[in-house]
């Protein structure tokens, strides 16, 4: 299927193969590089799921599996990509694991390598044990990173049940329990083609690329999908803790204010995400009255940022700042958000133009297109719907989002500071 998006000047080819794999191809005229991502809808939150019976696996296993996929009987796949002139990588998030490469040569070989290594698990007791030292150092590195501790401290304090509260890499203790058998099990459960999306963008001819992918996939046999359910937890709308302080040797205290939201799936989820983003831009950009006030008082500056995270089973807004005056910053922000919202049509229109511009600018990046498209596609929504959806969002929708989201019992404040 060929889909034209003339307003953004891109054409996307989408096909679902017989084995269930979703393939997306996008030609970027004039680009030297081709970038490909092979993504499974499997992340750190998938710790309990049903095959024939319910299974529970150690925390951090999705990330551990991502590391171990690169090692094969005949060596390291990184090296194979390297010999083929490609730069490979992978990442694990709360909800996804993505394997990727960028290459300016041997693109066909590299696409085959990507498909083959992710679909061919190979783990041994020895190699699993060896990885525990490497990931152990990765976990320690993050433990020394105040920004990371702040972010995960916030999420842990916000959520009562939801496994988003668990560190993506797990802990040194939790990963110590991981075995080769666990890894095989998770691979069988979550790396079935019907649970995955392949995105290839850049210097390609879509028809030829599709043939290559189809040939590669039809030469392999897959068992029927094993995964029959993922655990869903009852998460209250209110937060677990309203405040948490983490003591670390930092020069400047860091603070995050989180507001827990009610998640939505599919296109509704995308629309909610865009609505909250428009709202947050209107409230917190440098042009907003609140920003101007706090800047004059020395309570806000370039260190301030905000972000909205939205997935099928969790959603939250986060405001982040570094300042010696944490208490004043928090009380000014939270007090402002308890007042009624004042917003005019002209501001909303300006914020829409701004987000349209941000979207168009991001399309320069094949990495953005592949990563973000895959994220939305695995949540049953479409990245290229963003420009049209933005235009449908009304002032009323922003008011509704404001009163739903910025509530005291949905708020957590997390602070990292010196003992």
Partner 1 sequence: MKGIEQFQHQLNYSVYPTKKFKTTTCLVSFAAPLSAETIADRALLPFIMEKSTATYPSMELFHTPLEELYDASLYAGASKIGKEHVIQFQLEVVNDHLVGEDVLSQAIKLLEDVLLRPNVYDGSFQPLIVEQELRLQRQRIESVYDDKMRFAQQRLQDMLGGELAIPSLGTLEQLKDVTPRSLYEAYDAMIKNDRVDIYVVGDVNREQVETAFEPLESLGSKLVRELPVPKVGEFQRLEEQQDVKQSKLHLAYAIDVDPRTEDAIRMQVVNGLFGGFPHSKLFMNVREKESLAYYAASQYSALSRKLFVYAGIDGANQQKTEDIIAEQLDALQNGDFEEETLQQTKEMLFHQRRQLGDNPRQLIAWMSGADVRPFSLDEELAIIEQTTGEHVVELARNIKLQAVYCLKGGEA
Instruction: List interacting residues with partner 1 (CB under 8 A).
Output: 8-9, 28-33, 76, 78-79, 82-88, 102-105, 130-131, 133-135, 137-138, 140-141, 143-144, 146, 202, 249-252, 285-289, 291-292, 295-296, 298, 301-303, 322-324, 350-351, 353-358, 360-361, 363-366
Closest CA to 255 of 301, 306, 320: 320
Longest dimension (CA), the chain: 66
Asked about 66 being catalytic, the answer comes back as yes
- Cβ proximity to partner 1: between 238 and 365 the closer is 365
d(C-alpha 379, C-alpha 385), whole Å = 13
d(C-alpha 7, C-alpha 315), whole Å = 29
| 57 secondary structure, DSSP code | -
d(C-alpha 120, C-alpha 74), whole Å = 12
- Cβ proximity to partner 1: between 158 and 282 the closer is 282
Closest CA to 339 of 263, 408, 277: 408
d(C-alpha 126, C-alpha 113), whole Å = 24
- Cβ proximity to partner 1: between 36 and 239 the closer is 36
Structure tokens that stand for 376 in this block: 């939305």
- Cβ proximity to partner 1: between 143 and 237 the closer is 143
Contacts of 208 (CB under 8 A, 6+ apart): none
CB of 214 to partner 1, least distance (A): 27
CB of 180 to partner 1, least distance (A): 17
| 187 secondary structure, DSSP code | H
CB of 68 to partner 1, least distance (A): 12
CB of 312 to partner 1, least distance (A): 29
CB of 208 to partner 1, least distance (A): 20
Q: Which of 66, 71, 131, 311 is catalytic?
A: 66
Block residue for tokens 């081709």: 34
Closest CA to 45 of 370, 414, 377, 311: 311
- Cβ proximity to partner 1: between 349 and 409 the closer is 349
CB atoms closer than 10 angstroms to residue 94? 20
- List the catalytic residues: 66
């Amino acid at each position: 299927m060929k889909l034209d998006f003339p307003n953004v000047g891109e054409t996307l080819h989408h096909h679902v193969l017989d084995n269930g794999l979703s393939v997306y191809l996008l030609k970027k005229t004039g680009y030297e590089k081709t970038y490909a991502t092979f993504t499974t809808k499997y992340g750190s939150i998938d710790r309990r799921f049903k095959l024939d019976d319910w299974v529970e696996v150690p925390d951090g296993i999705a990330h551990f599996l991502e590391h171990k996929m690169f090692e094969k009987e005949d060596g390291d796949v990184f090296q194979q990509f390297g010999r083929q002139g490609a730069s490979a990588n992978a990442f694990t998030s709360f909800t996804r694991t993505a394997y990727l490469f960028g290459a300016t040569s041997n693109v066909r070989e590299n696409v085959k390598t990507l498909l083959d290594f992710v679909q061919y698990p190979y783990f041994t007791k020895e190699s699993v044990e060896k990885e525990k030292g490497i990931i152990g150092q990765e976990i320690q590195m993050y433990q020394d990173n105040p920004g990371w501790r702040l972010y995960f401290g916030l999420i842990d304090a916000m959520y009562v049940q939801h496994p988003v509260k668990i560190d993506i890499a797990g802990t040194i203790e939790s990963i110590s329990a991981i075995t080769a058998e666990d890894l095989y099990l998770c691979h069988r459960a979550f790396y079935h083609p019907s649970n995955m999306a392949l995105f290839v963008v850049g210097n390609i001819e879509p028809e030829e690329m599709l043939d290559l992918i189809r040939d590669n996939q039809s030469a392999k046999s897959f068992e029927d999908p094993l995964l029959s359910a993922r655990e869903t937890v009852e998460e209250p709308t209110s937060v677990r803790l309203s405040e948490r302080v983490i003591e670390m040797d930092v020069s400047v205290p860091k603070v995050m204010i989180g507001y827990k939201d009610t998640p939505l799936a599919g296109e509704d989820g995308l629309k909610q995400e865009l609505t909250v983003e428009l709202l947050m831009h209107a409230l917190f950009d440098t042009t907003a009255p609140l920003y101007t006030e706090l800047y004059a008082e020395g309570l806000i500056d370039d260190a301030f940022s905000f972000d909205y995270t939205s997935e099928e089973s969790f959603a939250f807004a986060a405001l982040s700042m570094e300042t010696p005056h944490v208490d004043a910053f928090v009380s000014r922000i939270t007090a402002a958000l308890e007042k009624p919202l004042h917003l005019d049509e002209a501001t909303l229109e300006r914020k829409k133009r701004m987000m349209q511009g941000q979207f168009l600018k991001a399309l320069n990046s094949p990495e953005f297109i592949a990563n973000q498209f895959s994220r939305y596609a695995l949540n049953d929504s479409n990245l290229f719907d963003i420009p049209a959806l933005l235009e449908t969002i009304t002032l009323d929708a922003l008011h509704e989002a404001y009163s739903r989201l910025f509530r005291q019992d949905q708020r957590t404040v997390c602070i990292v500071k010196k003992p």
